[in-house]
Amino acid sequence: NAGVTQTPKFQVLKTGQSMTLQCAQDMNHEYMSWYRQDPGMGLRLIHYSVGAGITDQGEVPNGYNVSRSTTEDFPLRLLSAAPSQTSVYFCASTAGTTYNEQFFGPGTRLTVL
């Protein structure tokens, strides 16, 4: 099992550019989430999904879109990058009703110039 994988590991964007952060898990988990980590602020939930075709907003959803067409994948789209979106992004998955822990991916460090 690869667990939760994220690509890319690092990315530099210019203001206004768009991009997609990829997240995949091979554990057949129902639940997936995206968080961003900023210095001094811990992790904050951006969007989450409780199954294929079902997504909802978290605490800081503005400027991001998600979709969940398969159980395995949960991409995060930045529509028009802004310097305020400079952050480390973590994807996580859990097993749903047998939930004990969230498994986190290694993170993507994004810089927006």
Partner 1 sequence: AQKVTQAQTEISVVEKEDVTLDCVYETRDTTYYLFWYKQPPSGELVFLIRRNSFDEQNEISGRYSWNFQKSTSSFNFTITASQVVDSAVYFCALSEAGYGGATNKLIFGTGTLLAVQP
Subset of 84-103 contacting partner 1 (CB under 8 A): 88, 90, 92-94, 96-103
Subset of 1-30 contacting partner 1 (CB under 8 A): none
Q: How far is the CB of 76 from partner 1 (least distance, A)?
A: 15
Taking the least distance from each CB to partner 1, the nearer of 45 and 52 is 45
Note whether 107 binds partner 1 by CB under 8 A: yes
Taking the least distance from each CB to partner 1, the nearer of 17 and 37 is 37
Note whether 33 binds partner 1 by CB under 8 A: yes
Contact 35, 11 (CB under 8 A): no
Taking the least distance from each CB to partner 1, the nearer of 67 and 103 is 103
Taking the least distance from each CB to partner 1, the nearer of 71 and 94 is 94
**Distance in angstroms (rounded) separating the CA atoms of residues 74 and 112:** 22
Beta-strand (E) ranges in 1-113?
A: 4-7, 10-13, 19-25, 31-38, 42-51, 54-57, 64-66, 76-78, 87-94, 103-104, 108-112
